[in-house]
Structure 1
Amino acid sequence: MQFALKRMHWSQFIRIASIVSNRHIEATPMHWRTRLIHSEATVPGGFASLSTPVYRGSTVVFDRQASVADQWRAERGYSYGLYGTPTTLELGARIAEMEGARHTFIVPGGQAAIALVYLSRCKAGSHALVPHSAYGPNREMANGLLRQFGVEVEPYDPLVGEGIARLIRPETSLVWCESPGSITMEVQDLPAIVAAARSRGVTVALDNSYAAGVLLDAFALGVDISVQALTKYVGGHSDLLLGSVSVRTDQMFEAVGSVWHQLGMAVSPDDCSLALRGLQTLGIRLDRVGRSALEIAQWLALRPEVDRVLHPALSTCPGHAQWRRDFKGSASVFSIVFKAHFSGEQVAAFIDALSLFKIGFSWGGVTSLAVAFPDLQRPGIDYQGRLVRLNIGLEEVDDLKLDLAHALQAMALTTR
């Protein structure tokens, strides 16, 4: 045997050793419990589907120790499920493609997106600006958590335009915009605000949820960060919570990404899969609800009970000229203000009398929604509970008009 081995080429020896080794493994079968974990079962390859697979996983397995790296930058490879699976990263890539962004971070919700922007751009001693018409939880964070951290967030008139230059200080690190504004729908002069902020080296972030990242090109207007509540139009069916933070430059990618990494903002691949599905129908849904909402807004503007309709495509909406200049269309959500002789109790009766319109927050789904804001105020304006926000869904417009007409009649018959 020794003589035979000496005459063999070394590669033959290794092959024989391998065969012997494999036979040893086969001769010593694994316990069935071990086999449950270390299965050798296979399935045929070549399955091509129109749907993105749902990749769930926390641990990422490496081929060898030298490949192990704990890092969050997806382009350098996967390292841990917290930083994304192929499902979550595809959603981010699709949103970035849609918005024309350098990169998009997917986060657990719209409020998480707002928090990520604040925490990546502000520090103790920083000053930030936020419009009066910003999403309520944005302002709550400004007055709560950020104040505790020594960040001053100053509210400003959303229609200030280039006048925002007077509000920028040496310590200003962030200007928030939201256009149209939450509930009261003011459309901001984004180019003017961006120009003033950029001349001072200040980051501009935009809550771009109303436009779903497509009806307004934030980055073409010079915005640095665009956030969305993907819960709204991208999800589209009122059954998931997700947010996105899209950045324009490599520098912002590193600044936002390092904080995103530290905060551990994990998202569910299952929710991301639903959002990917929602993207496929976003175009037709957005077009349908946009046309329906505008028709209903125009109809309500002619009703004797209604004092004002706050829809960006109507001249009665503050900043309408900016909407015509910057936007490619309008979406599903708008507000109405009832005439002054109606009481808050009558407005509540209007809401309660609705049938197809469900009572609830949020918007962007297939179901029409209505909600009143009894305590809503803006500087110099007290709506006295007469403002109602509507989200128009995919129901037939004539059916929605009948529902609204019935509720308006019920409101008029309700005693003050």
Structure 2
Amino acid sequence: MADMKKIIPAHSVTHLIHHPYQPPGEFDSPQPGVFKASTVYFPNVAAMRQREWKNKSGYTYGLHGTPTSYLLEERLCALEGGLQCVLVPSGLAALSTVALALLKTGDEVLLPDNAYGPNKALAEGELKSFGITHQFYDPLNAADLADRINDRTRLVWLEAPGSVSMEFPDLLALTRICKDNNVLCALDNTWGAGLAFKPFDLLGDGTLGVDISAHALTKYPSGGGDVLMGSVMTRDPALHLKIKLCHMRLGLGVAANDVEAVLRSLPSIGIRYKTQDETGRALAAWFQLQPQCAQVLHPAFPESPGHEHWRSLCEISGKTGLAAGLFSVMLSPQYAQSQVDAFCDHLKLFKIGYSWGGPVSLVVPYDIGAMRQAWPTHLKSGTLVRFSTGLETAADLIDDLQQSLLANLPLS
């Protein structure tokens, strides 16, 4: 019987689809190849039945992984210190995947009151409708977290620093409380990015770490402001399998070209992170000298809430601490919201927009009073404005800030 795989079809259209040519495999270059697939071929039925995707030993379907997505997952593990990773379509999808994988009706999740807004909205919306309760704890008071943990608590979210207001919690103490109570703790590690500290090795000696790290790859790993993606990382195989199976059942996947974009940007993340950190500090220091500014919120500044916790975590072993390119300022309460909005509108180099970690500096005013259970006592009164530094020079950005302050926030 003839080998049908070697028969040349009579029609050219069929021939071009089933052409036998395969390029040689010995090829290497700085950027990895991009594999796009829904269907994945098997050499025979036995291979189809035996191949396993859960441990990355084989390929079964594009949604479960390709060489391209496996490569990014492994490189992210090297960055953050994890052992297993799944990719999801956004940072928020990373947070929701953790919740859906680990929580069920009757369970409770605890979140810091300064958590990323959409994560709080998830708890107040879908999770509540599923019969999952939640509480918000004071991130700067470890005892408050300890008091709120109960026999229904299954998950505690950590965030360092807090979203928008930039308080840095005692991450070591919060993690220990979770461990002592046998409750899983998940960290939104987007700010730290695997560079400011290692989420699975907080002390640098392998004795203390979070259970889960969720990361919005949209920010520093992408670096271009043009990719939406997230990751969920663990070190425990059983925990990872729970998350991976939920990930599979939800049908979550990411586009190969988006993975390619992150892979291309990832090698420069250390340089970009450090540069944007330096620029952010220069701008925050400049704001400290401006009379229109009531308070600067930057974890690396001694006056910022939780600065001592940042130092204990990010300056261990004598290293110079990193602090990303994100900071907020509280503008004096003498200025109306309309004046603060005009200040933001009048900036030329800073663009008004959410997210951060890209090449362009961003600015957004926030209503902290509407975002918290009560006005935090460590924040002075006024209107908060958050800045994300891009890759512009600090001098040019300061000039831009100066011209808008003079035009819109006059001194009385």
TM-score above 0.5? yes
Give, as a single letter, the amino acid of the residue that structure 2 aligns with 1:217. K
Structure 1 residues 247 and 22, CA gap change in structure 2 (3 angstroms) = closer
Map of 2:205 onto structure 1? none
Q: CA deviation at 1:233?
A: 0.3
1:334 aligns with 2:327: yes
Give the whole-Å Cα distance in 2 for the aligned partners of 1:162 and 1:36: 68
Q: CA deviation at 1:67?
A: 1.3
Map of 2:239 onto structure 1? 252
Structure 1 residues 337 and 44, CA gap change in structure 2 (3 angstroms) = same
Structure 2: runs of 5+ lacking an equivalent: 203-208, 315-320
User: Secondary structure at the residue paired with 2:409?
Assistant: helix
Counting matched residue pairs gives: 395
Moved more, 64-73 or 385-394: 64-73
Tell me, yes or no, if the aligned pair for 1:210 and 1:331 is still in contact at 8 Å. yes
Give, as a single letter, the amino acid of the residue that structure 1 aligns with 2:45. Q
Tell me, yes or no, if the aligned pair for 1:134 and 1:178 is still in contact at 8 Å. yes
> Which aligned pairs between 1:315-394 and structure 2 lie closer than 5 A?
315-327=302-314, 328-374=321-367, 376-377=369-370, 378-381=372-375, 386-394=383-391
Map of 1:61 onto structure 2? 41
Moved more, 307-316 or 378-387: 378-387
User: Secondary structure at the residue paired with 2:111?
Assistant: strand
Map of 2:178 onto structure 1? 197
Give, as a single letter, the amino acid of the residue that structure 2 aligns with 1:247. T
Give the whole-Å Cα distance in 2 for the aligned partners of 1:287 and 1:273: 23
User: Secondary structure at the residue paired with 2:287?
Assistant: helix
Instruction: Say which of 281, 285, 289 aligns to 1:298.
Output: 285
Q: CA deviation at 1:137?
A: 0.4
Structure 1 residues 212 and 23, CA gap change in structure 2 (3 angstroms) = closer
Tell me, yes or no, if the aligned pair for 1:185 and 1:312 is still in contact at 8 Å. yes
CA deviation map 1:104-142 (0-9, x unaligned): 111100000000111112110001100111111001101
* Identity rate, percent: 39
Give, as a single letter, the amino acid of the residue that structure 1 aligns with 2:108. H
Tell me, yes or no, if the aligned pair for 2:35 and 2:68 is still in contact at 8 Å. yes
Tell me, yes or no, if the aligned pair for 2:9 and 2:15 is still in contact at 8 Å. no
User: Secondary structure at the residue paired with 1:219?
Assistant: coil
User: Secondary structure at the residue paired with 2:408?
Assistant: helix
Structure 1 residues 297 and 37, CA gap change in structure 2 (3 angstroms) = same
1:89 aligns with 2:70: yes
CA deviation map 1:272-317 (0-9, x unaligned): 1100111111011011001110111011111110000100001222
Give, as a single letter, the amino acid of the residue that structure 2 aligns with 1:326. L
> Which aligned pairs between 1:146-225 and structure 2 lie closer than 5 A?
146-221=127-202, 222-225=209-212
CA deviation map 1:156-207 (0-9, x unaligned): 1111224421110001000001110100011111121111111221000000
Give the whole-Å Cα distance in 2 for the aligned partners of 1:277 and 1:400: 27
Map of 1:144 onto structure 2? 125
Structure 1 residues 22 and 205, CA gap change in structure 2 (3 angstroms) = closer
Map of 1:228 onto structure 2? 215
Structure 1 residues 180 and 128, CA gap change in structure 2 (3 angstroms) = same
Map of 2:317 onto structure 1? none
Structure 1: runs of 5+ lacking an equivalent: 1-16
Tell me, yes or no, if the aligned pair for 2:349 and 2:361 is still in contact at 8 Å. yes
Give the whole-Å Cα distance in 2 for the aligned partners of 1:410 and 1:121: 51
Give the whole-Å Cα distance in 2 for the aligned partners of 1:255 and 1:280: 30
Give, as a single letter, the amino acid of the residue that structure 1 aligns with 2:34. V
Give the whole-Å Cα distance in 2 for the aligned partners of 1:109 and 1:195: 29
Quick check: which has more Rg, 1 or 2?
1
Normalised by the length of structure 2, the TM-score is 0.92
Map of 1:406 onto structure 2? 403
User: Secondary structure at the residue paired with 2:401?
Assistant: helix
Structure 1 residues 190 and 162, CA gap change in structure 2 (3 angstroms) = farther
CA deviation map 1:348-369 (0-9, x unaligned): 0100110000000000101000
Give the whole-Å Cα distance in 1 for the aligned partners of 2:4 and 2:18: 18
Give the whole-Å Cα distance in 2 for the aligned partners of 1:342 and 1:368: 23
User: Secondary structure at the residue paired with 2:358?
Assistant: coil
Give, as a single letter, the amino acid of the residue that structure 2 aligns with 1:121. L
Give the whole-Å Cα distance in 2 for the aligned partners of 1:46 and 1:247: 33
Give the whole-Å Cα distance in 2 for the aligned partners of 1:144 and 1:270: 32
Instruction: Say which of 79, 82, 90 aligns to 2:60.
Output: 79
Map of 2:206 onto structure 1? none
Structure 1 residues 280 and 173, CA gap change in structure 2 (3 angstroms) = same
Tell me, yes or no, if the aligned pair for 1:122 and 1:151 is still in contact at 8 Å. yes
Instruction: Say which of 270, 280, 284 aligns to 2:267.
Output: 280
CA deviation map 1:203-222 (0-9, x unaligned): 00000000112212111132
Instruction: Say which of 36, 41, 44 aligns to 2:16.
Output: 36
Normalised by the length of structure 1, the TM-score is 0.91
User: Secondary structure at the residue paired with 1:387?
Assistant: strand
Moved more, 62-71 or 356-365: 62-71
